[in-house]
Structure 1
């Protein structure tokens, strides 16, 4: 009995395992059938592609033996109108025959990733030392940024004669070589840039200046040289006058020699009398020797050239003298001026009196 029960138990277990294996086998067969079907589909597509490649290769071989050109390549440089029209028509007919493989439109140029993002072509990077705009020639492209430049020795960025800005690095180099030639050892352009003053311009200002507009963050204009006034005054002789230590007055620069000369003519003052000796040195009048005064000034006085400072001081003294009361002319007992003939002694006395009056007026 035990052996029969054991046998029946084994039979039942084996039957169950057989059923599971058959179920798994059927599932595997279905998967294999699906894979075979997919493989057949791929084979069909591969065959179609191979046929298309063969067809394209044959047509390419035919075109290479009999080349055809597009209208753009076959366009003549200079031809009569009728010949050009016939050539265009023949090209179009060939183009219609090979419409599948040829296109009249030009190929689009590949764009960079930055251009795809912005949607527009990127501007080419300027070359080294290029000026940003004709209105701003002193702003150049240096070391990857827009930079304003000026002379590092005198501080100017324009020609002092023509009053025009330096035309880029070339103008600065010419100024640097000619004006500061005695101070230079190396006159190359690189040495000029190393010795120049530089200031980086912001990107917003650079964008405005490239469009020809004025910058907002900084001011781009003419820079005055450090020694400009000294150089201009040095061109005119006797332009500056330094007062003597006895006077104790500071250095004074007059406005114009011509204006002083015009004022002298208006007051009718002889230039010979307006010298540095006529300035106030003491509050008391100075007596002069009794000599007959000459009617015309000496040659040295006529050729002497007054400085602006001396003319200014003498005009001021003369203006004060005009405000002082003058002595009345001597009259005779009859109340009329004395017109009688005078002796030499009387004439000398009158001249000394006039010179004394002039010295007193200068003292005031």
Structure 2
């Protein structure tokens, strides 16, 4: 095995006290000031073939993950507009990461926070939310058509009715969720200089739209690759049971910018687990479901694109909340997630409705689904204050 020479590790050590001070971590007067300016990491061999790789934006370096950015932004803008009154309760549906961001925003701006989740939320995340002062409400039965997300949103509506001054950011449909990611896109431009391909997971549609639109204004030929999960409805597949958290949807978020994407890849849970664990073994920086899925696709993009092209992938969080799922052997054995090394290339379909996908699959036709109007869009929660 090749080892990195100690001299190269020490090259970055300052040679004077003044340099040591300049190189130190930034000081922050508030926890909110720790959000942003996250690093990028080169992900190369052995995770990728020799001479190929991609740059990963490590959003797990935020206190709670990528959605710290949008939680702080949506809350701040709502306060400026008067939609969120001083001291009023914030109520929202979340699978975890936005909940952590809202807990941070609640502390930063002085608001109580209630989050609605489902049994899939990892126990450590629920524990952290309570430790940060948030109320955690768990629905126990999925909606017949809209699944757990719709059941959570209906519970949010009940809580808003019970708290007349409460406000809901409604991350699925709130355009402020998109606007919040402009600084992240600017960070990528400053860090990488040029980006040819962006690989990004799609859940609420916020960070994919917010980052992608800004980057395309800098790089008109930018290729945007969306990463979804099997059994998600976002890109026209039928809804089904989904084990993966943080990407995919059983409703149709209005923040998804369908016209932005050049192609979409669906990734199955065992494939995401393989990639997340392979990242951990080879590059140390890793994460959960979304990170594994994005890394798998970015790895293939890097291998099949010209060597001079530059690929950026957004890793929404780190591994810590997934110690009882993605990185727990017992959990993975129970859900048949281990021993499924992905193929070298995805399957390919020419239209999202051509077949129901159950493994890594690519489609270069991206259209806006035309779902029947359901309660998912009729709750009217965006920026709601009751």
How does the TM-score come out when normalised to structure 1? 0.19
Bigger relative contact order (CA 8 A; separation at least 6): 2
Judging by fraction of residues, say which structure has more strand.
2
**Higher helix proportion:** 1
Larger Rg computed on CA atoms: 1
